């Protein structure tokens, strides 16, 4: 009868340890790559959000300038222009837009993003209005009775 005994095989143990360390190294690289890709996605999303808000601001300020131009031609003029907004579905940002006599402003709830676009104010009009942009797809720049304002709904004229 042949005796089978246990043999001390250090080569097999070293191979198993190599597998474990290779797996751990791969897991570390995969985790690092995932974090890097997530940071890249967040940075791209932030950049696109900032560009969309800046584009909204420029488009609204250009419409206000056109309303002021209409008022310079005829102070009793009535003017309404729709502006289709970017980021209309970004309700989590808490964005607000408001007018003052010398600028259009957009900011979020935490004031982490706040930007203004100067307007000429060359007409004898006043500018007013504040809108919460959550879910709003179109805003209206309206000139009526010498006042330029922004509305979320069509003014009806």
* Sheet (strand 126-128) strand order: 79-84, 138-144, 147-151, 126-128
User: Which position has the token pair 């307007």?
Assistant: 119
HSE, CB side, 13 Å, CA atoms: give it for residue 25. Answer: 6
3-state secondary structure of 16: helix
Quote the pTM value: 0.72
H or E stretch at 66: helix 10-73
Element (H, E) at 148: strand 147-151
154 contact partners, CB below 8 Å, separation of at least 6: 80, 82, 140
pLDDT in tens, the chain (157 residues): 666 666 776 677 778 888 999 999 999 999 999 999 999 998 888 888 888 888 889 999 999 999 999 988 888 889 999 999 886 555 567 888 889 888 998 888 777 778 888 888 677 788 889 998 888 889 999 999 889 999 989 988 7
């Amino acid at each position: 009868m042949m005796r089978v005994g246990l043999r001390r095989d250090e080569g097999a143990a070293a191979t198993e340890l190599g597998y474990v360390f290779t797996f751990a190294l791969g897991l570390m690289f995969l985790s690092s790559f995932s974090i890097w890709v997530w940071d890249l996605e967040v940075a791209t999303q932030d950049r696109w959000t900032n560009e969309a808000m800046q584009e909204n601001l420029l488009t609204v300020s250009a419409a206000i300038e056109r309303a002021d131009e209409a008022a310079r031609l005829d102070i009793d003029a009535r003017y309404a222009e729709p502006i289709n907004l970017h980021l209309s579905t970004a309700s989590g940002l808490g964005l607000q837009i408001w007018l003052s006599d010398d600028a259009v402003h957009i900011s979020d709830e935490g004031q982490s993003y706040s930007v203004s676009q100067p307007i000429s104010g060359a007409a004898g009009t006043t500018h007013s209005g504040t809108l919460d942009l959550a879910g709003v797809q179109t805003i209206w720049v309206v000139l009526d009775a010498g006042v330029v304002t922004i509305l979320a709904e069509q003014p009806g004229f």
